[in-house]
Structure 1
């Protein structure tokens, strides 16, 4: 169990940031021996498994993943930048302080410094980190990049939803709805992990990182002296799966009333989403989703608001009531953001 104490100053400094490199890391964990990808990842894993096993450019990643202990060093995953560009994070990896790399090898791989796969990180850390970044880039380009447009929308939607929850409902709502492996009892955030650790208030600022592939490996990063990064599962990972048919019309009262497509759109709007985000999740054309949203907005069951260049939709009280009455979904207690 990990216990993180957060005083008012620490709570005020808490941030939510995306990290494509951490998603790539967790996706790689799904390829390890003995791992059985769960339902949302199975279709993706079929292609990715061949990349992981057959692309020799990934050797620096293979070795760190398979030759050493299960712990994760921060030189494998630098501090989250909040960028959607994985290559910015890879540049950060290439620029890792050699002294930090050597120190991390000693901490995370005790007594293994003479192992061939680790020796480059001690003798020439800069070149070793560059090779590791190149391996990450190859993994990204072959296995992750084709999915990234969908993944990016899912993560950006998650960041927006969590930020709005934090701003409008407070930290209790933010941490209370984080995920099943996290428990918040003010002033302590507890994380279920196989190690025990405690962090006092004010030691580091907390960064929450939503990941599509968090199911591959929940990350908890502590080696950074200023930042404590904790990942959690972003909603919508099912967008990676092969599309499956929805419920039969005879048992779907909401679908009978609104039509199956419009009912599916309404069900997805538990939190703010864009037209493109909904289209990705539902496997529908953006034009079709846009038409459904226009009709639902005209009926007063969804509302829209603009954030920068994007328009986000969410349920109104009427929409939540409609779902609760006809779909049997417990959404009446969800406060409007």
Structure 2
């Protein structure tokens, strides 16, 4: 069933973006456990399958049901725009055992027989110990699956935030949210995250139903993800406990732009005609800009020196094939209509 989140007056203005390494770990574990749904990412899956060979991820996978909530304490809303994995893991380890037990039981109940099975019983019998062990397992998964590629992944996520922040400034939350994912919509102060048609997870929270959850001024956190998948979106709307004053923002995790190049093996370079016209280096950079990107992200993606990529970008921009815009410390490059026509014709 979909999640509806109704925002208090003025609350949509509290929309913010965040990068969360812990959310990426969770989604990487989910992807690795369901490889048939991610055929386009086989190069990464093969490499990560080897890296994860020594990890026992059964407990995390059991707590990621096909249709139901992941324990909320495993992925708290990011506290800042660029969270640090050590801080997020410390937040997990500080979870109150009573809250952990309630979250674990709710998650296990979504899978028939999970709570009564040997692993489910072990998870529930000592929630304090379970919290510590799950946090340790998340840390090991971070080191094996995400940390080696984190600089390039973070650059891509930061570029996505810069792009969408401009959309938010230009058209407000309705335009921004309408572009995030087909299953996310905004109407009259209510955000809706619908379930996937293919049976994949679409919503998470502490309860399900058509009744809207009403925020109390905490706003909305938008988290771009590399691993959530182009057809995936996660909506999480925590239900405030009676009498609680703890702020918990609604969270939407969505697929970041420009992830396609991460999952393919390096090809044979740009089209021959384009390389003959522009030179191989400039043609390679133009062909790689199917989505806006920064100099650093392009250099990491293409395996080129940042200075070389910067020189090619300047030449292409001077020729009218690219445009650039600054957001914070990021400078994003994007094809102009002429650049699009030239790259696609080639």
Normalised to the residue count of structure 2, the TM-score between the two structures is 0.78
Consecutive unaligned residues in structure 2, runs of 5 or more: 197-202, 204-208, 241-247
Q: 2:228–2:254: 8 Å Cα contact kept in structure 1?
A: yes
Offset of 1:143 from its aligned partner?
Answer: 1.8
- Matching residue of 1:235: 257
Query: 157-166 or 107-116: which moved more?
Result: 107-116
Deviations along 1:35-70, whole A, 9 cap, x unmatched? 34231x2111112223445424x454255358x975
Offset of 1:151 from its aligned partner?
Answer: 0.7
Q: 1:206–1:227: 8 Å Cα contact kept in structure 2?
A: yes
Query: What does residue range 36-185 of structure 1 map to in structure 2 within 5 Å?
Result: 36-39=37-40, 41-56=41-56, 58-65=57-64, 70-81=68-79, 82-110=81-109, 113=115, 115-185=117-187
1:189/1:38 CA distance change after superposition, 3 Å: farther
Offset of 1:261 from its aligned partner?
Answer: 3.2
Offset of 1:33 from its aligned partner?
Answer: 5.3
Consecutive unaligned residues in structure 1, runs of 5 or more: 330-337
Output the CA distance in 2 between the equivalents of 1:298 and 1:24: 40
1:240/1:280 CA distance change after superposition, 3 Å: farther
Does the alignment pair 1:289 with 2:294? Answer: no
Matched residue count? 319
Query: 3-12 or 130-139: which moved more?
Result: 3-12
Query: What does residue range 179-198 of structure 1 map to in structure 2 within 5 Å?
Result: 179-193=181-195, 197-198=210-211
Output the CA distance in 2 between the equivalents of 1:210 and 1:140: 17
Does the alignment pair 1:312 with 2:331? Answer: yes
Output the CA distance in 2 between the equivalents of 1:118 and 1:83: 34
Query: What does residue range 254-333 of structure 1 map to in structure 2 within 5 Å?
Result: 255-266=275-286, 268-269=288-289, 273-299=293-319, 301-302=321-322, 310-315=329-334, 320-327=336-343
Q: 1:269–1:313: 8 Å Cα contact kept in structure 2?
A: no
SS, match of residue 32 in structure 2: coil
Output the CA distance in 1 between the equivalents of 2:282 and 2:301: 14
Normalised to the residue count of structure 1, the TM-score between the two structures is 0.80
Output the CA distance in 2 between the equivalents of 1:324 and 1:305: 17
Offset of 1:268 from its aligned partner?
Answer: 4.9
Query: 151-160 or 162-171: which moved more?
Result: 162-171
1:247/1:154 CA distance change after superposition, 3 Å: same
Output the CA distance in 2 between the equivalents of 1:173 and 1:123: 47
Q: 1:60–1:135: 8 Å Cα contact kept in structure 2?
A: no
- Matching residue of 2:236: 221
Q: 1:270–1:314: 8 Å Cα contact kept in structure 2?
A: no
